[in-house]
Chains A and B, each alone.
Chain A
Amino acid sequence: MTDKLLVRWLSLAGARVAAARERLTDLDAAIGDGDHGINLDRGFRELLRRLETGLLERDPPAAVLEGAGRALIGTVGGASGALYGRGLQRAGAALLVPGGGDAGRLDERPREERAVVAFGAAVDAIAALGHATTGEKTMLDALVPARVAFEAAVGSGATLALAARRAAEAAEAGAASTIPLIATKGRASYLGERSIGHLDPGAVSSALLLRALADAAEG
């Protein structure tokens, strides 16, 4: 993944989050504490501010992802900031060769293969920090099928743009699949069966972020 693509993705993701702020917040108000859109928008605004003012490095990709993750962790305030932030940081770390020294030597495999490794590291980190798995009405219901679709696409020779589109489609289907689920994680779990019939806001924002990635990769 080139640094240009990352910067384009983060910028587009910030714009999409801002546009979806009310929708995400309304979804969260139905089953959570009603701040998902507001929180995520605040985090991405800070992320983009850092990017524009040079506080966040634009290169190399590992540093961009680390800095972007730090911005979300420090400013979002909800679980989603910690989870997305940690995911981005681990994706960045996965782009470095283990034992590559303090400066961190970059992995030099083809960018599609590196993206698979980074994507997988992000999803694994989110599952580990959230102590969660699929079927619990969380962002993982979008992210896990997206990761599977992304890997499968790259494995069959797809370009990064095509693989990202497959991932976005899988994430959107995964987000829709959260409607009949009972939430067992996070604030929505307080509602028990009353959480049935609602989209999970975290799964929706995950799908939105991956759609932004697909669109950024299209150029």
Chain B
Amino acid sequence: MIALALVGHSGELLRALREMVAQAAPAVPVATAGGTATGHLGTSSPGIGEALWEALRASGGDGVVVLFDLGSAALALEMALEELPDRDRARIAVSDGPLVEGAVRAAVEAAGGASLAQVCAVADGERATAKLPADWPGRPGSGR
């Protein structure tokens, strides 16, 4: 089964997100890399590398979809990926989708036995998915 790796600035944020993901898809393995090694807000490529490796192992080699938050996360993630052997890197797909919605959506897809490319595609798709109907009250210009 495809596993998820969640990468971000805060360990606390990612632990809570992992709980939300587990509620939706308890069988899907989820590894997290949040904050620095010293427990500060930030990202750390060695920590990300460990989470990728852990997720890959938990997936039984099927593959890992990575979701990340803002700023330096993409940069640290890129460094961590460069450290991996080609064989492992080929089993990792990075999603450009939003962290929370993408992670939950991807986990549900993974639990259904989808492929690496499919799981990554649904997480990416959350970027374009509106969360509110156009006439929802309280939106700028909704008139209500």
- Give A contacts to B, CB under 8 Å: 33, 35, 39, 42, 73-79, 81-83, 86, 129-130, 186-187
- Which residue of the partner chain, among A33, A75, A129, contacts B78 with CB atoms under 8 Å? A129
Contacts of A73 in B (CB 8 A): 44-46, 79
Contacts of A77 in B (CB 8 A): 9, 35-36, 40-44, 72
**Total A-B residue pairs with C-beta atoms closer than 8 Å?**
56
**What 16 new A-B contacts, CB under 8 Å, besides A74-B44, A82-B72, A187-B71?**
A33-B71, A35-B42, A42-B38, A42-B40, A73-B79, A77-B9, A77-B36, A77-B41, A77-B42, A78-B43, A78-B71, A81-B72, A82-B45, A82-B75, A82-B76, A187-B70
Sample of 21 A–B contacts (CB below 8 Å): A39-B40, A39-B42, A42-B38, A73-B79, A74-B36, A75-B36, A75-B38, A76-B36, A76-B42, A77-B9, A77-B35, A77-B41, A78-B42, A78-B71, A79-B71, A79-B72, A79-B76, A82-B43, A83-B75, A130-B75, A187-B70
Q: In the complex, what residues of B have CB within 8 A of residue A76's CB?
A: 36, 42
Identify which of A75, A86, A130, A186 contacts B37 (C-beta below 8 A).
A75
Assembled-state Cα–Cα distance A116/B87 (Å)? 35
Q: Which of B47-79 contact A (CB under 8 A)?
A: 70-72, 75-76, 78-79
Q: In the bound complex, how far is the Cα of B35 from the Cα of A42, in angstroms?
A: 14
CA separation between A161 and B136, bound complex, in Å?
A: 65
